[in-house]
Each structure stands twice: as structure tokens, then as C-alpha cells.
Structure 1
Amino acid sequence: MIAIWNQPWFALAVTIAVGLPVLLVILTEVLAFLVRRGHPAAKPVRLLRNLVLPVGALLGLLSLANHQNVEFTWVRVVATLFGFLVILLLLSSVNVVLFGNPEEGSWRERLPSIFIDLARLGLILVGLALLFSWVWDADIGGLITALGVTSIVIGLALQTAVGSIISGLLLLFEQPFKLGDWLDTGKVVGRVVGVNWRAVHIDTGNGIQIVPNATLAGASFTNLSEAPGSFMATSTVKFSTDDPPHQVIDLMQKVASGLPMRTPGESIEASYAGAATYSISIPVSGPAAEAGASALFLAWLWYAARREGLALDGDTTDPIAEPERLAEALAYVTTVLRLGPGDFSWMTERCRLERYGHGEMVLPARRIPDAFRLVLDGHVQLSVPTLVGPVNVERLERGDVFGLLSLSRELEQTAATAEGTITVMRIPADVVDRLIVEHPALARAMGQSIEARQKSVALALASTLGIEGAAGSL
């Protein structure tokens, strides 16, 4: 009688009985470690532990039992299942090695997942064909021929649709643009809001334009969002031939510099093209800001040109420049300043009315004011620029005065911004000096206004930023 340890199946049975539990314990610890780290290798390790090893052990045991009159078909079934699981394990491992942690901007990151899925499906089909040929002695030559002929027929019938899909996959792989980018295809300009295998969806502002991928792949287009440096919003305007070009260019640059969508630190390019035509390029954050920047620039330029007496579009007419309006405004100013009766006709040639559009900076912060300004119409917002943004101090209305520190030639701490369209009276500092000489009480009233304004600034900063003792430090 042969000893049991001398049986041909003993070594394999002991190996399975002892080795399988040990391997499962080791793989469980490895899997827990990978899961905690969020490592992509956790998926193939889980597949190895839960399916490949147990089915492999079962196949080994059935192979031993096959010699004990067990039906041979079951061994083939389990061998087929085991082979399929091994194919999945190999593909999953290759996927982890190649695409587990792709570098940013590399081809592995840009490769669409559909390519990976199609390649995986093809390898699985080839692997299964070889597996059936090896385990079941199946003839797969006829099947491969039939599939090839079917693929050719389907490809010819759907070549247009398949071409668009392939073009879409190539665009997804190359990634010349991404969602949110602005494209100029020559016929369509807009923002990319969707990309699929067949077409790109572009928001033109007047609807969604569907552009087939084959059209984009076969023609040139411009990705406006990938322009070097800042994106430029361009505008072309005309003035009168009597307007000095350098004065016009300086005005255009001054207006453009105050636009809220302008990119800080980038230069504004303005030039004279001849025949009273001027062009300007304003750096903005991107194509989405182009329309807003151009529209706001043209609106503000209209007000600024009339304040400077320049003929935008050849027109210098401004209703507020009429003498009757100025005389009426001066009468109101003398009442607000409590100047009493007297002859103030000399102020007519020194003072003037100004209009500003919504959002325009009437008086920048941290500058010496060039004049006093009294609000005649609309509202003016006073604010203090800080590192965390502007802090609102006071909202001025009809009869309020700002730019008071022009009297002492000191830096103004607050910025004055127009809320809506406003009209103000500009009173030069030397005019105020003369008024103070003639009306000493005006100096005391202005001193009190300056002190009250400084306290308002301190309280606003203390309330918004939590600056203790700010009121006492100003």
C-alpha cells in the first residue's frame, strides 16, 4: 500500500490547502493598504483575491478529481472561467501601469476612455477566442472571417457617421480645446458648452450652434481662450479731424484703464489710424468679457469726450453745457454752501458741469483732488480700497460735496464712483479759496465736513475689517 504522501495529488492538495488561506490573508492586508491610499492597484488586487485565486484553486482540485471519474466537462468549464478571469486581471494590471497615475498634460491623460474600453474589449475577444480554441478545441477561423466581413459591410454603410465619431475621438484625444473655451471657426464664434463623439456644441449668444467634429477636424479654427497673454477686446472709434490725436489717445487709455474687467498689469494699446479713426486694444480676462468691456468702454468714452470737449463721432453737443443750465446750477451751489446774497457771476467762467456714466470713477483714491465737486443729480458712492476689496463709506446724493481735501492739497482716502448717470458741479480749488476769503464761515463748515468724513471712513473700516481704534487713528 502506497503512503498517502507519496500519492501524485498530495503535494498539490497540500499546497492549495495551506497556500490559499495564507495568500488570501496577505492579499487582504495589501488590499486594505491600497484602499487607504486610494491607489488604483486596489482593483486588480481585489480581483485576484476574490475570484482568480479561488477559481484557480477549484480548477486544481477538479483536475485532481478528474482522475476519480468526475465528468471532464466541468474541468473545461472551470478552466474557461479561470482563463477569462486571468485575462481580466492582466488587462486591469496593464491599465493600472499605463493609466493609473498619468502625468498632467501627457498623452495618457488625454486619451479618451472610449479608446481604452474598445482596446480592452478587443483584447478580451481575442483572449476568449484563443481560450476556447485551447480548452474546447474550437475552430475560430470561420468566426473571425464572418466578423471581418460583417465589420467591412457595416463600415461601408456607416462610413459618414463613423467618420464623425472617429473625428470626435481624435479631437478628444488631441484636446485642442476644452469646455468653456471660446472658438472662432470662421463661421461661428462662441463658447464651447458640450463635446461628444459626433459634434461640438458652441454657444454663440443667439443659440447653440452644432458643429460636426468632421468639420472641425477638416478645417482650421482658432481657440481664442489659448491666446498668449491676455485676451484683447478691440474697439474702433472716430473723432473730429480738429481733435489733437495725442489728446484723444490719452483720453481713450484713461477711460479703458478704469474698466472693471481690464486685466491689471497689462498695457492698453491705442493708436491713430488716420482720417480721425482710432483703435484701442484692452486686455481682459477672456473672450467672455470682450463684449461687456467694449460696450462699457464706448459708453464711458461718450461721457469723457464731452467732459473734455472732444468730438466723438464728430459731435460735441451736450445739453448740460448750455449757459442756462450752468447759471441754474450755480444758484443752487451758492444756496447749499450758504454763501448768502452777492455777485457770483465770476464763477461762471471757472466752474463747469460734468456728467459721468454708471460705474465711472469720478475721483480716484489716494490722490490729491483737482477740484471740489457737488452732486446735482444722481448718487455717488464713496469707498475705501483695501486688500480685501472696497469698503463702502457713504452714499452721496443731491447737495453733497466730495473732494474736500483739495482745499488742503492732501491725499484723498476715498474713491468716488458714479451710481447711474450723475451730474456734478466742478469747482476748482482756487475758486473755493476766494469764496473762503469772502465768506470765512465757509472754511469752518468745510473743516467740520472734512472731520465728519474722516470719522465715517474710520467707522466703516472698523465695522467691516474689525480694526480696533481706527476712528481714533484717522
Structure 2
Amino acid sequence: MNKDSITFWGVLIATLYPLLAILISEINYRLKKINHPSVATVSVLKNVFLPLVTVYLTLVKIIPYDFPAVFLKLYETTLWIVGLYLFINFVNQIFFTDSDVGEDRKTRVPKLLQQIMRMIVIAIGFAVIASEIWGSDLGSLITALGVTSLVLGLALQDTLGNLFSGISLLYERPFHTGDWIQIDSHYGKIVEMNWRAIRIVNRQNDMITIPNSYLGKQVFLNYSRPNKFHAESLQVSFNNEEPPNQVKSIIEDIILSTENIRKDPPFEVKTIKFDNHKVDYEVLYFIDDFWESELIKDELYTKIWYGAKRHNLRLPNPVSYGKPWTKEEFNKENYLLSKSQLILGSPVFSGLSVSYLKEFIKKSDFNIFGKGEVIVQQSERSNHVHLIIKGKVDIYVESEGESVFVGMAKKGELFGEMELLNNTANEGTVIAHTDLELLSIPYRVINDLIENNLSVKRKFDALIKIRKKEQFNKLHDDREQE
């Protein structure tokens, strides 16, 4: 060992040791601030492994003394064991614990598999120590292990295929528990992932088990990635005589009134095709939960049907299917006159003559709504008072940021009269409790009736006092219960 070599190693060790110690200390400090689980391992790296390496290099590169071979081999063995310990700990903390992702992986990787992987690493480490430091011949042992591994591999081919496919999927992470996926004809929500298979539950609440070895060879569709929200589309058709812009406007209003449809990204309503009896429209919209896709689609189709009837828009109906319902075929006046007993039975309209009732009906509108549709929205302006011909409605009032149920109106009852007489925006939201038929009376018709009939005005005033008292009592009771 010459003097230049001793000087070189002395300067190198004297320079690198403090620099590495400072660097590792800084890393450890930052890890402590975020409560990282590898803090203890980094401390061992700094306080044990780094000094051991420094002492070893000093012994063999700087001190001019021939130490016994056994002493150096024991020292090198100690270094390898500490290094192996650090390596196993770092692998464990990176892949099986640590961050949120690590915690997720830890729950997915069986403990048995973790132990097997650690044992393999330890076995390889000790084999290297025995061969490189102590000069042991491992050839025969490796040959025996190779033959044994081949036999086991053939016997456990399917199991090992599932195992390694599972490991690959766990770390590629193309899907997570809770994602909706489709594989061939199977689709459902992932409820469990392990080293052998994944389990999904479909809409029929049936569990399907798919082996990882099969999954690794298939193309699958993940409805929950890269974003949680998912695009859906539906197609509807209207008679080709109905103006497309009017149809689109009605569909857009229906989508805006439907919960669980995202406003961002925005929805689209497009005209895509027309022929000699119909025009086809496509509706593209986004939802947050794929599980609700069929429910939302059902709600939209139902609302579109009711919306078409309310606005007297004809759905496609080839001659072979019969005639569509048109305004001419449905006689509003005759239908409502058949309900005259119900209309005149309302406390407000009792006493009206039949001739006045006919004129009254002619100036009013007849509307139908499906269960769950919003008829009146709080804070918006309305221009009709509604008399329920058939069905029931629920009335809600927004109070202190919460929607409070204040009552129900049923057949023969009015709603919307308070806003008319007070000249205010809607004081509550009205939602169809069942399928609904309404006589919607314009404000101007009601105003004419009140101006020409003092008895009707008194009845309206009395009804409004009752409604205000009911609403106040309901809100007061709800606050007391809280």
C-alpha cells in the first residue's frame, strides 16, 4: 500500500463521510416532519451502516496493517447483514406501507406473499455472503434448487400464473377497489382484489370471480378512470314536424332539472338524423357514479315523455303504429268540463256558473307531470296558479340552507296563489309526489276573476292566511326538533 493511495483514501473518507452524514440527516429530518415510516431505517443507515463502511474502508485502505482474514470476513459479513436489513426495510416501506397508495397495496398483497418475498431476498443475500466472502461452492445447491423449482413450477403453473399476474396488476394499478369495469360480457363494481383473482358485483347483485391469469390476457374497460365522472348518452326521436330548436330547448330544461347530472363538463343535445317520419336526437351528459347510470337514464326518458305531452310535441309514430296524440284529438275543454265538479268543489271557485267555468277553462292550460318532476322552483317567477286535477305534490321551503318539507297538496287543492297576490317570486319548491294532472290558470285570468267577484277575493285572502300559518308552524316545529 503506497503513500499516495493512503492519502487519496484518507481525503476521500474525510470528505465524503461528513457530507453523507449531513445529507442523510437532512433527509431524515424531512421524513420526520411528514411522519414517514422509514425514519427508523434511515437512522440505522446514518448511525450504523455509514460508520461501519467508513471503518471498513479505513481498515483496508488506510491503516498499514495486515488484519487476520477471519476478522475481515466477519466484518464484511456484518456489513452485508446490515445492508440486507436496510434493503428489506426500504422495500417493505416503499411497497407495503408508507403513503396512501402504499396502504392500499398493503391491504391487497397477502402477508404470506410478503413473507415469501422477504425470505427469498434473505436467502439470496446469505448465498452471496457464503459465496463471495467465505468462498463456498453453491453450484450443487443451485442445481438442486433449480430442479426443484422446475418441478414446482410445472405442478403449480396455474396458481403461479394467477400469483404473478396479480402482482403485476397490483403494481400497474389499472383499477382500484370500487371501480366499475367491464371484461368481455361481464361488468360490475370491484369489491375485492387479491393475489389470485378479483371479485366484482354486477347490477343484479351477483358476485363474479375473475382469475388474475385470465384478466392479464384481456382488454378491459374501466368506467371510473381516468376521472370518476363518466359520460353517458341516450337517443330520443320526435315527429319530423316538430321544430328541432324547440325539442332541444325542452330536453335541455329537463337535463338541468335532473339531479346527479354534472354541469361540468357541460351536456350536449344534438340533432343526428332525420327521415320521412322522425328526427333523432342524441343527448350526451356526464355523471359522477356509474352505478346510477341506468336510474338516471330511466329518469330522463320518463321526463322527456312527460315534457313532450306538456308541450304537445308528437313522438315518432309511423302509420303502421297508429296515430299520435295531438292537440286536436285531445279535447282539453271537454276533459276539464268532465272534472267540473272537482273544480267547483274547490273553496275558491265554488259558486262559479257553468258558463263562466267554460270560459275560465278555455283560457287555462292543462299540464301533466311525472312523479319527481319539479313544477315550481323556489325564488323563480311564475305566472300561473295551479289546481290539482289528479295526484299529489310535495311542497318544500329553503330555510337556513336546508330544504324543509312544509306540506302536501292533493286533488282539488291549489298552489301558487300566494305568489300571485303578493307579487313575489315562488316562496317554495313544488315537486310531483305522484303522476300529476294540473289545471294551470294564468295570473291574468285569476286577476280578472278577483276584480269581478268580491266573494272569490275573500276566499283567496282566507286561503293565503291559512297557508302562511301552516308554513310558519311547520318551520317553527322543525327548528324546535333540532
TM-score bracket, shorter-length normalisation? 0.7 to 0.9
Quickly say closer, same or farther: Cα 1:109–1:205, change in 2 above 3 A: closer
145, 169, 182: which one pairs with 2:180?
A: 182
Residue 351 of structure 2 corresponds to 340
2:450 alignment counterpart: 436
How far did 1:365 drift? 0.9
Distance in 2 between the 1:255 and 1:310 partners? 15
Q: Which stretch of the first structure deviates more once superposed, 325-334 or 355-364?
A: 325-334
Match of 1:308 in 2: 311
Within-5 A mapping of 1:58-457: 89-90=85-86, 93-95=89-91, 98=94, 102-103=98-99, 113=109, 116-129=114-127, 140-206=138-204, 207-228=206-227, 230-264=229-263, 266-275=265-274, 276-314=279-317, 315-316=324-325, 323-336=333-346, 337-342=348-353, 343=355, 344-386=357-399, 388-404=401-417, 405-457=419-471
8 Å contact kept, 1:380–1:397:
yes
Cα distance in structure 2, aligned partners of 1:221 and 1:430:
61
CA positional deviation for 1:222 = 2.2
CA contact (8 A) 2:84 2:125 kept: no
Q: CA deviation at 1:432?
A: 0.8
2:386 alignment partner, SS class: strand
Deviation of residue 380 (structure 1)?
A: 0.8
Equivalent residue number for residue 66 of structure 2? none
Instruction: Go from structure 1 to structure 2 and tell me whether the alpha carbon gap of 1:244 and 1:97 turns closer, same or farther (over 3 Å shift).
Output: closer
| 1:380–1:220 CA distance, 2 compared to 1 (3 A) | same
Q: Distance in 1 between matches of 2:266 and 2:461?
A: 40
More displaced stretch, 136-145 vs 449-458: 136-145
User: Cα gap change, 1:456/1:266 in structure 2, threshold over 3 Å: closer, same or farther?
Assistant: farther
What are the ranges of 5 or more consecutive residues in structure 2 without an aligned counterpart?
1-33, 45-77, 318-323
Please state whether the residue corresponding to 2:122 is helix, strand or coil.
helix
- Change in CA separation of 1:94 and 1:335 when aligned onto 2, cut-off 3 Å: closer
Change in Cα spacing, 1:322 to 1:432, as seen in structure 2 (3 Å) is closer
Question: In the alignment, is the contact (CA less than 8 A) between 1:169 and 1:197 conserved in 2?
Answer: yes
Partner Cα distance (1:324, 1:127) in 2: 94
Residues 310-347 of structure 1 deviation map (CA, whole Å, 9 limit, x = unaligned): 12343336998554431022442233124414222112
Structure 1 residues 92 and 305, CA gap change in structure 2 (3 angstroms): same
- Please say if residues 332 and 366 of structure 2, whose CA atoms lie closer than 8 Å, have aligned partners that are also in contact: no
Q: CA offset at residue 288 of structure 1?
A: 1.0
CA contact (8 A) 2:384 2:416 kept: yes
TM-score computed with the length of structure 2 as normaliser: 0.72
Residue-by-residue CA offset, 1:399-456 (whole Å, 9 max, x unaligned): 2211111344420110000112122221111111121122122222223333433343
Q: 2:286 aligns to what SS in structure 1?
A: strand
- Identical pairs, percent: 24
CA distance in 2, matches of 1:162, 1:322: 73
Give the Cα separation in 1 of the matches to 2:480 and 2:226: 42
Q: Which runs of 5+ in 1 are unaligned?
A: 1-36, 48-81, 469-474
For 1:195 and 1:98, the matched residues in 2 are separated by 20
1:239 partner SS: strand
- 2: CA distance between counterparts of 1:377 and 1:295? 23
SS at match of 1:226: coil
- TM-score of the pair, normalised by structure 1: 0.73
Q: Deviations along 1:107-133, whole A, 9 cap, x unmatched? A: x97586457544311122234556788
User: Which letter maps to 1:224?
Assistant: Y
| Post-superposition offset of 1:100 | 8.2
Taking the aligned partners of 2:445 and 2:260, their CA distance within structure 1 comes to 37
CA contact (8 A) 1:40 1:96 kept: no
| Cα distance in structure 2, aligned partners of 1:451 and 1:264 | 39
Residue pair 1:373, 1:427 contacting (<8 A) in 2 also = yes
Q: 1:359 to 1:251 in 2, by over 3 A?
A: same
Please give the alpha-carbon distance, in whole angstroms, between the structure 2 residues aligned to 1:215 and 1:98: 28
- Aligned residue-pair number: 405
Shift of 1:87: 8.6
SS of 1:367 mapped into structure 2:
coil
Question: How many angstroms apart in 2 are the aligned matches of 1:138 and 1:413?
Answer: 90
Equivalent-residue separation in structure 2 for 1:266 and 1:389 (angstroms): 27
Q: Shift of residue 191 of structure 1?
A: 1.7
CA–CA separation in structure 2 for the residues paired with 1:87 and 1:239 = 74
